[in-house]
Amino acid sequence: MPTVTRPLRLAVVGAGPASWIGGMHRRAAHLDGCWHVVAGVFSSRAERAASAAVAVGVDAARGYSDVATMLAAEAGRTDGIEAVAIMSPNDTHYACAAAALEAGLDVIGDKPVSTTADEARDLAARTSALGRIFCVTHGYSAYPMTRHARQLVADGVIGPVRFVQVEYIQSGLAKPIERGTMTESQRWKFDASRSGLALVFSAIGCHAQHLACNVSGLAIEAVSADVGALMPGRTVVDTVLANLRLTGGVRGQYTVTQAAAGGENDIRLRILGERGLIEWSHRHSAYLQLNLEGESARTIGRGDVGLPADIAKLSRTPRGHPEGLLEAFANLYREAAEAIHARNAGAPLAQVSFPTIDDGVHSMDFIEACIASHTASGLWTKV
Amino acid sequence: MPTVTRPLRLAVVGAGPASWIGGMHRRAAHLDGCWHVVAGVFSSRAERAASAAVAVGVDAARGYSDVATMLAAEAGRTDGIEAVAIMSPNDTHYACAAAALEAGLDVIGDKPVSTTADEARDLAARTSALGRIFCVTHGYSAYPMTRHARQLVADGVIGPVRFVQVEYIQSGLAKPIERGTMTESQRWKFDASRSGLALVFSAIGCHAQHLACNVSGLAIEAVSADVGALMPGRTVVDTVLANLRLTGGVRGQYTVTQAAAGGENDIRLRILGERGLIEWSHRHSAYLQLNLEGESARTIGRGDVGLPADIAKLSRTPRGHPEGLLEAFANLYREAAEAIHARNAGAPLAQVSFPTIDDGVHSMDFIEACIASHTASGLWTKV
Amino acid sequence: MPTVTRPLRLAVVGAGPASWIGGMHRRAAHLDGCWHVVAGVFSSRAERAASAAVAVGVDAARGYSDVATMLAAEAGRTDGIEAVAIMSPNDTHYACAAAALEAGLDVIGDKPVSTTADEARDLAARTSALGRIFCVTHGYSAYPMTRHARQLVADGVIGPVRFVQVEYIQSGLAKPIERGTMTESQRWKFDASRSGLALVFSAIGCHAQHLACNVSGLAIEAVSADVGALMPGRTVVDTVLANLRLTGGVRGQYTVTQAAAGGENDIRLRILGERGLIEWSHRHSAYLQLNLEGESARTIGRGDVGLPADIAKLSRTPRGHPEGLLEAFANLYREAAEAIHARNAGAPLAQVSFPTIDDGVHSMDFIEACIASHTASGLWTKV
Amino acid sequence: MPTVTRPLRLAVVGAGPASWIGGMHRRAAHLDGCWHVVAGVFSSRAERAASAAVAVGVDAARGYSDVATMLAAEAGRTDGIEAVAIMSPNDTHYACAAAALEAGLDVIGDKPVSTTADEARDLAARTSALGRIFCVTHGYSAYPMTRHARQLVADGVIGPVRFVQVEYIQSGLAKPIERGTMTESQRWKFDASRSGLALVFSAIGCHAQHLACNVSGLAIEAVSADVGALMPGRTVVDTVLANLRLTGGVRGQYTVTQAAAGGENDIRLRILGERGLIEWSHRHSAYLQLNLEGESARTIGRGDVGLPADIAKLSRTPRGHPEGLLEAFANLYREAAEAIHARNAGAPLAQVSFPTIDDGVHSMDFIEACIASHTASGLWTKV
């Protein structure tokens, strides 16, 4: 593991003091001392941007009101930013990331990386051409136990994979929000031109798709999908249901809805192999179910003795003491910092553990295929 | 509730001493004293039929070696059988049921009721024309808590239904049984001409479909399905995956496989309504999850105070003392007996709680539509 | 395993049609065809006794109104009863069992076996002297998974036992029943002269104590106890709490209350050994937790492949299909029948799996010691 | 809620880079921006102290090698420390806290606060006399759901409390560590003169006792206890078992062991009231079970709609996204900072939510009473 010798200087875009995801990114960046948030775009109004900066511990002068100004101003400082973390509205992701890459910065991007697959592909091309690091913050894939699941599958513990099932249900859109007075954040979400191809996919669905692909080690090759809204009269997409074909013809099933009244934020993943199955549920994020045919079911815990070193290092507290999503996010921030230091030190680009812009491209390809299949009455459609 | 005044005389077909499902039927029939197993077809070899009869507590003379002989012999007795319970191989169900109905008997039929939808429709027509009772033993729909779930949905507790999700995974076909030496029971199952359109559907899939329809109170109107085998090289169907449209356009998702290495016999049902959701899992068959949006999650138990009387009467043991599938089966046997006594007493045919031949027809229509959709590359297909 | 060649003829005492525990005994006796309930004492009023007999499928003539009459009458029949199952009020157990033993009959006795340790010892002496079988129906100790837990402990899987913890909480006495109008059944329970030394112990506490001793394979040697009532003003005992010393100085802890408002019927057992622990909870009676230090936690299920044959035979339904307390009771009835047939066939008395009158003696010794310790301000007291 | 206007300057004692509890304190202090760790005693060797300081982001010059030096040096700075957080070995807690209080500083003290009740009382007297804030870091009592449990009990939701049950089992001492080569940290723990009256109590037992008292709102008035070691030959205490009497005669039971091979870090709390019970398990720290007699069981979640504002503010992430022990610790740090700012602003000392030195006194009184009761053969002993 490359050492993190000093905190990297980070700017945040869209992480005002009232944003929970903003707080998540800022805390995660600081948790292990790998990053220092020193600048950011917090509001389009200069005054507000400055006061928001101070509220989150950034100098007022480095609280910018737009990305271009920030990139220019920071480029002129000897202690200027080295990377940008993006968590502004979905329709701004692409432009912001492209500008940051072009400015020679690395990117921590919240999902979705863009609003179309073409844009995502463009970001991937720039990232590669410019030798940048692009980390997409799929936090659920960075829990010690989802990482361990991936390892167990890769090691063949459950045999060849035969079926991949993922489900993410949430109550975020369970009420007819669009019929009432909306907050600014709700307004852009319910404007399909800003929130992207499928609201539910931008919001939570890409997390589920990434988790399934990441843990199974497989890509989605074709879909037969049902895309729409459970809520009557809704014009944005709150639900995506799909049958899948993954690499090598492996079957899969995909269930995502934000219109689950009474749901919490429930993610379930199951990978069926020829010899057994692995199950993980977000409700019990620190545990992993491993059921091998003919053996008693096993529950592997985050703090179990004998976990591989690269899984054990993802934990900061001992066996039986709960960790949260914050620590999973911090794992991504730490890994991104390590990759950047290594790259800066001249090391050749190694395989990374965190999701990259290539994962972002696959997500956008997937949702475009789902929509195409739905339009074609459920017909199997290539991703 | 009509009273069960005396045990009805029952013949069992295919319930030899070594058959677990046979034992289940015999024990369930006797549990409440509503039935008395007095005859049966236990083997095609006369000697074995007689000894098997004795082993299960039936007179050797009434251990028959074929259905026709039994029906004829019993018709000649003053204490002859009044109903036939069928749990022989799938491809014999239709003929046996049809013969029993024609002999003026009522039928308790294990699933699937037939091998085609046409046959099922024929049985439904005979049942109706002959004024018979035909109870299909979908035991999972007869637990107190699945019944209560149905009631809660019908009462609108979760609001209008928006999404129905059912899953049944099992390890029964997780190994390549067909590549080894098979038992007689396995041989007919792996012979698609005998086990029916889709092995997994005959074995477990129709239970899941019935449970989803029964609890939601909805019928399946269209499917977009993926039908096949997870096990490479397998020629029978071990997996059915489908997106659904139910009555009124309600969305659904269906997941059934017997090739789940490491699976147990796991059934999960979730009904999403506009105000909340209901979940039931076979692992916790005595409990029901009711999560209403904006309220704390509730776990309703089989023994809770204040359950409606028609749910409470489905239990035989107090709060916190486990019951099993046997008691659920016995609920069906008791309800069927009550319906028969009522009919015999001249009462008009009332709404019954147990699954009937009409449910059997819907199951066969559903699987035929799944296969048609699969053949049409996932295209939405009317049921 | 000795074969059960024919059903044994059983009389039930206190198993009227309205008694749930009566129904449990009758169904359990019949479940495997090992017993046939042919007589019983159902009421002290002759007319009621006869009608109750009929209601439970017994000839009116063999529905007796007192035990002495029954024993005399049945002794005169060639098809007379061979054993008596006792589930009448607690204060009648001793006399009824003693009379049955003296009449040369075997006994299935519900708990507690008597109201004092001396009485229990007297029954043990008679049982032994007369060569009878005396099975005490501690059903919780007869689940496949509590039996398997016992086996695992005995096999040393968790190493030498260091700590035994058992808890049984229930809401049966959570309300101030004694301040209202009581049913007949409640009246004898709240009369300490009839319900025994400690109501909660007679009702549920002896089950918990037996389970702990049975699974750990240890006897209780000393106690430091707190005995009393959680309900203010209550004069009967609804709660027993104790620190324990078991065979060889092993520590233990015991928690029993029926005044647990909001409780269900929750039994938890945990055995700590030097290498790991075993946990069992009644809520998940078909599963057993086995956590060995340094290994992933294992959940052993009732239907797991590879269970020892003598555990597997305690199940009647396959993996993943729930069984209940009825099947556990039926295990006791089957084992008692096997022991009786073996004894009748002249076999020397072997080690039996079911609880015997010796277990009943230990239970009564234990509760007497608890009361003595409580009276002595918690002082450690020999059992 | 008093506002935290600027980060307070904190010194940490015993929080070197390799200490997990040190990392917990440092991260928790920083999480909400309420504190800034600017100094510390990291090693008794000056060189190591300086390098350790740098490793945790503190100036080398403020990495001290003993407490006295630090207090003197910091007193001379205009930006000197305002509080000390203590997480050094147990036998140093008292002296360090006393010195910090006398230096006019506030104290965040890890448990146990001292090695005797007299010392704890002395700290309480100083804290009060000097007008200081003393926060004891019982993190388990600072989860949103343990706090909410306390509120529900205080609000009478379960009626008058009748029984309090707490259990904390862990595998930290499951192996015969003292028979092998020990680390420095293990050496002081196995030296009873340094680790305190009862090792298991210092390590985890006081957390369980505090949780039980805190949530029930009751103090422990008397105990009947069994204190010793499950591990044969062990001379330090690894287990404390006790029957309790709490304020008003309420019964309780207490179970603590670190010799639980196969245990994780399992804390269970149950409060029985006259109308229902509350249960909380550390395994599911974000949920609370509320079972009211006669109603369906309710699971209250950290993110439930409608939680009181002072509970809701203890969360930083939305419904269904896990938080960990870190956030609970950060709640204590934030509350301590708020109390300090309020006190500094001249506000009269209000009721605080975090554990104080008075709680520390009660813990030490409790364990001294347990040991006295054990010595007196289990006799009930006043606390």
Q: How confident is the model at residue C4 (pLDDT cuts 50, 70, 90)?
A: low
Each residue's pLDDT tens digit, B80-139: 999 999 999 999 999 999 999 999 999 999 999 999 999 999 999 999 999 999 999 999
Contact D165 C274 (CB under 8 A): no
What pLDDT does C3 receive? 52
Q: Can you tell me the mean pLDDT for A2-23?
A: 85
Specify the pLDDT at position C351: 86
Residues with Cβ < 8 Å from C165, sequence gap 6 or more?
C212, C252, C253, C268, C269, C270, C271, C272, D255
C-alpha dist (Å) from residue B325 to B95, B141, B248: 28, 10, 32
B260 in Cβ contact with B169 (< 8 Å):
yes
The answer to whether D239 and D256 are in contact (CB under 8 A) is yes
pLDDT in tens, B258-308: 999 999 999 999 999 999 999 999 999 999 999 999 999 999 999 999 999
| B interface test, pick of C167, C321, C331, C333 with most B CB neighbours within 10 Å | C321
Residues 6+ apart with CB under 8 A from A229: A235, A236, A237, A238, A239, A259
Closest CA to D142 of D219, D89, D217, D207: D207
Give B1's pLDDT tier (boundaries 50, 70, 90). Answer: very low
CB contact under 8 A, C300 and A304: no
Name the token pair of C56: 């439970």
pLDDT tens digits, D333-347 = 999 999 999 999 999
Return d(Cα A121, Cα A363) in angstroms, integer: 11
DSSP helix/strand/coil, C232: coil
Average pLDDT over residues A36-64: 94
Q: How confident is the model at residue A333 (pLDDT cuts 50, 70, 90)?
A: very high
Q: Two tokens at B121?
A: 């429709």
Closest CB from B228, B273, B377 relative to A380: B377
D247 touches chain A (CB under 8 A): no
Contact C299 A301 (CB under 8 A): no
Look at residue B226 and give its three-state secondary structure: strand
Whether residue A192 has pLDDT greater than 90: no
C299/C320 Cα distance (integer angstroms):
13
Report CB contact under 8 Å: D301, B297.
Answer: yes
Mean per-residue pLDDT for C354-372?
Answer: 98
Average pLDDT on A227-239 reads: 96
The yes-or-no verdict on residue C313 having pLDDT over 90 is yes
Give the DSSP H or E segment for B239: strand B239-246
**How does residue D185 score in pLDDT terms, banded at 50, 70 and 90?**
confident
- pLDDT score at A4: 60
| Interface B-C: count of C-beta contacts within 8 A | 83
Helix, strand, or coil (residue C325): helix
User: Which residues touch D98 (CB under 8 Å, ≥6 apart)?
Assistant: D122, D123, D126
Res A18: pLDDT: 85
pLDDT band with cut points at 50, 70 and 90 for residue D27: very high
Query: For residue range C275-309, what is the model confidence (pLDDT) as tens digits?
Result: 999 999 999 999 999 999 999 999 999 999 999 99
Q: How far apart are CA A110 and CA A124, in angstroms?
A: 15
Average pLDDT over residues B296-323: 95
Taking residue C105's Cβ as centre, other Cβ atoms within 10 Å add up to 23
Percent of chain D with pLDDT over 90: 91
What does the pLDDT look like over C341-351, one tens digit per residue? 999 999 987 78
CA distances from D316 to A141, B147, C190, D31, D326 (A): 20, 40, 52, 10, 11
What is the H or E stretch that residue D324 is in? none
Q: Which residue of B has its CA nearest to A161?
A: B230
Average pLDDT over residues A65-88: 97
Please indicate if any CB of chain B lies within 8 Å of the CB of A296. no
Quote the CA–CA distance of D352 and C152 in Å, as a whole number. Answer: 50
Q: Which helix (H) or strand (E) holds C271?
A: strand C265-273
Of B57, B264, B326, nearest to C320 by CB-CB distance is B264
HSE-CB at D335 with a 13 A cutoff on CA atoms is 26
Q: For residue D2, what pLDDT is reported?
A: 41
Residues composing chain A: 383
If you write DSSP's letter for every residue of B144-167 in order, what string do you get? HHHHHHHHHHHTTTT-SEEEEEEE
Looking at residue C313, the DSSP 8-state letter turns out to be T
What does the alpha-carbon distance between residue A23 and residue D316 come to, in Å, rounded to a whole number? Answer: 8
Q: Which of A165, A230, A262 sits opposite B276 (nearest CB)?
A: A262
Amino acid D194: pLDDT: 80
Number of H helices, E strands in chain D: 13, 15
Which residues of chain C lie closer than 8 angstroms to A299, CB-CB? 296-299
Closest partner CB to B298 (pick from D293, D296, D306): D296
Percent of chain A's residues with pLDDT above 90: 91
Q: Which of residues 162-221 of D touch A (CB under 8 A)?
A: 170-171
Which residues have CB under 8 Å from B182's CB, separation 6+?
Answer: B190
Q: What is residue A1's predicted lDDT score, i.e. its pLDDT?
A: 37
Q: pLDDT tens digits for B166-224?
A: 999 999 999 999 999 998 888 888 988 887 779 999 999 999 999 999 999 999 999 99
Asked if C323 reaches chain B (Cβ–Cβ under 8 Å), the answer is yes
**What is the strand order of the sheet C63-64 is part of?**
C63-64, C35-41, C8-13, C83-86, C106-109, C134-136
Hey, is D110 helix, strand or coil?
Answer: coil
Of A171, A225, A221, which Cα lies nearest the Cα of A197?
A225
How large a percentage of chain C has pLDDT more than 70?
99
CA distances to B304, B305, C14, C17 from C20, rounded to whole Å, are: 16, 17, 11, 8
All residues of chain A having their beta carbon less than 8 Å from the beta carbon of residue B228 are 251
CB C109 within 8 A of CB C124: no
- A200-211 residue pLDDT tens: 999 999 999 999
A2 lies within 8 A of chain B by CB: no
Contact D296 B294 (CB under 8 A): no
Residues C230 and D250: their CA atoms lie apart, in Å, by 8
What is the rounded CA–CA span in Å between residue B240 and residue C176? 55
What is the SS3 assignment for A174? coil
The C-alpha atoms of residue B48 and residue A231 are separated, in whole angstroms, by 60
Average pLDDT of the residues of chain A: 95
The span from the CA of B72 to the CA of A64, in Å, is 93
Cβ atoms of D163 and C239 closer than 8 Å: yes
Task: Tell me: pLDDT of A273 over 50.
Answer: yes
Nearest to B33 by CA among B2, B5, B75, B52: B5
Label residue C374 by pLDDT band (50, 70, 90).
very high
Instruction: Tell me which DSSP letter residue C183 carries.
Output: P
Q: What is the mean pLDDT of chain D?
A: 95
Give the CA distances from residue D144 to residues D303, D304, D315, D329, in Å, rounded to whole numbers and listed in that order: 9, 11, 7, 11
Structure tokens at B372: 């048609």
Using CA atoms, how far apart are residues B288 and B280, in angstroms rounded to an integer?
A: 5
- The answer to whether the Cα torsion of D297, D301, D304, D307 is positive or negative is positive
Q: Tens digits of per-residue pLDDT, B361-371?
A: 999 999 999 99
Which amino acid, residue B21?
Answer: I
The band of D253, judged by pLDDT with boundaries at 50, 70 and 90, is very high
Task: Give residue-wise pLDDT tens across range A141-173.
Answer: 999 999 999 999 999 999 999 999 999 999 999
Chain B residues lying within 8 Å of A297, measured CB to CB? 262
Q: Nearest to residue A202, comparing CAs of A111, A89, A267?
A: A111
Residue D291 vs residue C19, higher pLDDT: D291
Of D222, D229, D256, D252, nearest in space to D140 by CA: D256
Question: What's the start-to-end Cα distance of chain A, in Å?
Answer: 35
Average pLDDT of chain C is 95
pLDDT at D4: 60
Residue B311 in contact with partner chain D when CB distance is under 8 A: no
**Number of CB atoms found within 10 A of residue B218's CB:** 20
* A320 lies within 8 A of chain C by CB: no
Closest alpha carbon to C292 in C154, C150, C159: C159
pLDDT at residue A15, rounded to an integer: 81
DSSP D217-282: T--EEEEEEEEE-SSTT--S--EEEEEEEEGGGEEEEEEEES--TT--EEEEEEEEESSEEEEEEG
The CA distances from residue B284 to A314, B268, C282, in Å, are 33, 10, 12
pLDDT at residue number D18: 85
pLDDT on residue C84: 98
Does the pLDDT of residue D1 top 50, yes or no? Answer: no
Tokens 């008997």 found at: B105
Assess whether the previous peptide bond of D144 is cis (omega < 30° from 0). no
CA A55 to chain centre: 26
* pLDDT at C2 > cutoff 80: no
Q: Which of D174, D251, D291 sits opposite C230 (nearest CB)?
A: D251
> How far is C340 from C9, CA to CA, in rounded Å?
12
C206-216 and C144-154 helices cross at what angle (nearest 10)? 40
Distance between CA atoms of A71 and A103, rounded to whole angstroms? 7
Tokens of B311: 């749910």
* Best of B164, B170, B226 to mutate (most A CBs within 10 Å, chain A): B226
